[in-house]
Amino acid sequence: MTQTALVLLDVQVNMFAPEATVYAGERVLEAIARLISAARANNAAVVYVQHNGGPDDPDAPGSAGWQLHEVCKLQAGDLVVQKETPNAFLHTDLAEMLRQREIKQLVLAGFQTELCIDTTCRAAWSRGFRVSLAADAHSTFDGETLKAAQIIAHHNSVLRNFAKVYSTTNITF
């Protein structure tokens, strides 16, 4: 097994609700599917990080929106981590799971750019992991101040301080 893991953040059904779908969602899902396929072809670990929202949230545990999106086809050996904050390492056993498998490099993708992608990228870097961010495999919603495309471009630029930022076609496992 390689020392690289694909870490997919919050690739859950609620991100694609008809009333509020993430920016370029279908394109991002296609990029995520390519990453999953490449990771599996190279025997890289695949980690699904699932956000647990509160009782009235669209990602409340057990709700339809909380479920992993159908692009996430779990296989034997895949890891699933439950989190309640934007940081996939905070109050979870993610770091320990990765260390047990001698993982040193992480490829990050998923949702939401300015929350879980940003926070987990920085947290991984601060824990000594080498991080690659899939520039075209994360997204968010339009904000009050910035449009989603602006948020994504901004974070792809800023997170270069903590990760190598590549398009999915340039990521290797």
Residue 116 appears among annotated catalytic residues: yes
pLDDT confidence tier of residue 17, bands split at 50, 70 and 90: confident
Please check the confidence at residue 20 and state whether its pLDDT lies above 90.
no
pLDDT digits (tens, 9 = 90+) for 22-65: 999 999 999 999 999 999 999 999 999 999 999 999 999 999 99
**Cβ–Cβ < 8 Å for 134, 31:** yes
Residue 1, pLDDT score: 67
Residue 19, pLDDT score: 83
| Identified catalytic residue from 11, 49, 94, 116 | 116
Please check the confidence at residue 2 and state whether its pLDDT lies above 90.
no
The overall pTM is greater than 0.95? yes
Q: What average pLDDT does range 12-20 have in this prediction? A: 91
pLDDT digits (tens, 9 = 90+) for 63-109: 999 999 999 999 999 999 999 999 999 999 999 999 999 999 999 99
Q: Look at 1 and 160; give whichever has higher pLDDT.
A: 160
Residue 30, pLDDT score: 98
